[in-house]
Chains A and B, each alone.
Chain A
Amino acid sequence: MTQPQQASNHIEVEIDAALRAKALEALLVEKGLISTDVIDAVVRQYEQDIGPLNGAKVVARAWKDPAYKARLLEDGTAALAEMGYLGRQGADMVVLENTPPVHNVVVCTLCSCYPWPVLGLPPNWYKSFAYRSRVVREPRAVLKEFGLDLPDSVEVRVWDSNSEVRYMVLPEQPSGTEQLSEAELVPLITRDAMIGVAKIETPKNGNGGA
């Protein structure tokens, strides 16, 4: 039977990686090359502080403030700097507007480049061989796996992030949310919509407020 064999091999590999990571950390600390608190602090940054809430605030502001939206689309780097959202893997930002006739989606076929300062670290599917290989060739089929079925009349643009320019999608504002405040809009805006594999639906319960 191959199935149980594969499962136990995989678990062995995982345990092995945990051991090897521990051995590496121990060796580097004992040689005085690194400090433990740097690792702790960086992990904490990306587990707690830097994530898609940043991007959601940008999108909500762009939806409510046409002048900010115009600046965001004209010069993403400068407009994100206004809100303090530049940083590592997001020094040079371009924001792509999704509109009824045009749908943008982002990938990095060569590795996993992703706009960290506004979305945090990427989910596993973004870094998967399946996404990296397929979305440039069959974006519509891939988007369908995310539950997004676009008619052929909508142009699909796939942005392969092969330089240090980082891309973020400005999703369309769903109908029926025009009266919501920025703060009320933020929870509607998902990481998946800001990388282009989802649209944001109109909230079901009336005005979506608490």
Chain B
Amino acid sequence: MNGVHDMGGMHGFGPIPIEENEPVFHHEWEGRVYAMPTPVPIPGGFRYALERLDPALYLASSYYERWLQVKIQVMIEAGSFTQVEFDEYLAYYRQNPQAAPPRREDPEAVQRALATIKSPKTKRTEEDIKPAFRLGDAVRTRNMHPTDHTRLPRYARGKRAQIVNYYGVQLFDDATSAGRPDEAQPLYSVRFEGQELWGESAEPNSAVYLDMWESYLEAV
């Protein structure tokens, strides 16, 4: 979707906020939010849910505030609890700021969580799909504007590029978010010259590399 999350090339965000020796989590609640499981299906996936946050809220929230908002929303949408229940809990902790959440221990769940962190889940599939493009081919990205999740950023649509690498057949994020979780396509690494993307305002001698599933591309 053409949301505010699709930020490549936008103006106005100012200098890079560099902080020396920053902690992994700046507040304890950030770590809790990061690590909190949401044991429900998330239709379209977590990233798409982030993208669908109200744009003003997206821009006004910090990184983990966005995660927190999405996690609350998806649990309510899945029926795990209601907004009323959540508001009651919020009111309780607002009135009792020293109160800690209850504890529940599940050592087997801990082992499973640690195993998930350590085990890489590749998106490559064994499907025998012949790639349409070869290394060195000139291509153009399609001028597409899907309303659901896509990994083709606005700044790179309708642009000329060159195939520079091939990553095999991989699960296609856009399709996963559109309810087709098993769709896979050949995935390429493509190179865009700076001037192709930014015209006269491009910096000298610079290029952008993006990963492109085959349906993003057309031959030139």
Q: Chain A interface (Cβ within 8 Å of chain B)?
A: 13-14, 17-43, 45-47, 50-51, 77, 86-88, 90-92, 94, 109-112, 117, 120-121, 123-125, 127-134, 136-142, 145-146, 152-165
> CA separation between A185 and B201, bound complex, in Å?
39
Q: Which 8 A-B pairs have the closest CB atoms?
A: A91-B120, A109-B8, A35-B106, A42-B35, A163-B211, A26-B101, A23-B89, A21-B29
> CA separation between A43 and B34, bound complex, in Å?
8
Q: Chain B interface (Cβ within 8 Å of chain A)?
A: 5-11, 13-19, 22, 24-29, 31-37, 39, 47, 50, 59, 61-65, 68, 71-72, 75, 80-81, 85-86, 89-90, 92-94, 97, 100-107, 109-110, 113-114, 116-124, 151-153, 155-156, 165, 167, 170-171, 173, 187, 189, 191, 197-198, 201-211, 213
Contact of A109 among B7, B47, B50, B105 (CB under 8 A): B7
Residues in A neighbouring B71, C-beta threshold 8 A: 24
Contact between B8 and A133, CB atoms less than 8 A apart: yes
Pull 25 A–B residue pairs with CB atoms less than 8 Å apart, ordered by A.
A23-B90, A23-B93, A28-B36, A28-B37, A31-B81, A33-B39, A37-B107, A38-B35, A42-B34, A43-B32, A46-B31, A51-B24, A92-B167, A109-B7, A110-B7, A133-B8, A154-B205, A155-B205, A156-B207, A158-B209, A159-B209, A160-B153, A162-B210, A163-B123, A163-B213
Q: A133-B8, A159-B209 are in contact. Are A92 and B86 (CB under 8 A)?
A: no
